[in-house]
Amino acid sequence: MGAAYFYQMSRKPLVETLTLLLGKAQGAGWRVAVRGTNKDALAQIDAALWLGPEDSFVPHGLAGGPHDAAQPILLTTDAIAPNGATCVFSIHGAEVSAQEVAALDRVCILFDGSDDIALNTARGQWKALKTAGASAQYWSEDSGRWEKKAET
């Protein structure tokens, strides 16, 4: 049974946070789907991940290619990832259900704490998952390092 980890970004941009957390997910041996809501935004993340520092390279692919099923990390807008993901990263308010949280190893919900819409969306997701009985943790980087602030 998995858990949802909410990451409120306040110091580092999304791509930098994704690079860090995706590295940890790879270290855990998880296949990952990064689920967004906008294909153009995912294409920008794809390009940024390819241009990142060589020592923090994140092997990944953008959904829609011939090798989606083989990708260890797949950037997608679809709820079902063809790469057999055991971990989902929700960005830009992408939906995640309590059933997914229970079925996956981990669900990571990343949101910008300075964006009122993103913050309210994450609060709604937290409430919905908590009401459904899903395990959830809330992490903040306000102090300069990631700290757990709440847990259900």
81-91 pLDDT, tens per residue?
999 999 999 99
**Which pLDDT value is given to residue 77?**
97
Percent of the chain with pLDDT over 90: 90
User: Does 16 score more than 90 pLDDT?
Assistant: yes
> 15 and 69 in contact (C-beta within 8 Å)?
no
**Which pLDDT value is given to residue 52?**
74
- Record the pTM: 0.95
Q: For residue 106, count other CB atoms closer than 10 A to its CB.
A: 19
User: Does 80 score more than 70 pLDDT?
Assistant: yes
Q: Which domain holds residue 66?
A: 4-151
Q: Which residue has the tokens 């996956």?
A: 104
Q: Is residue 20 classed as helix, strand or coil in its secondary structure?
A: helix
- Using 50, 70 and 90 to split pLDDT, how confident is the model at 109? very high
- Count of domains observed in the chain: 1
**Which pLDDT value is given to residue 2?**
85
Q: What is the mean pLDDT of residues 79-103?
A: 95
**Which pLDDT value is given to residue 51?**
86
What CATH number does the domain containing 86 carry? 3.40.50.10110
Q: What is the mean pLDDT of residues 60-74?
A: 96
Average pLDDT, the chain: 94
What span, in angstroms and rounded, lies between the C-alpha atoms of 82 and 74?
8
Q: Which residue has the tokens 């997910």?
A: 25
Name the residue among 17, 25, 104 with its Cα closest to residue 72.
25
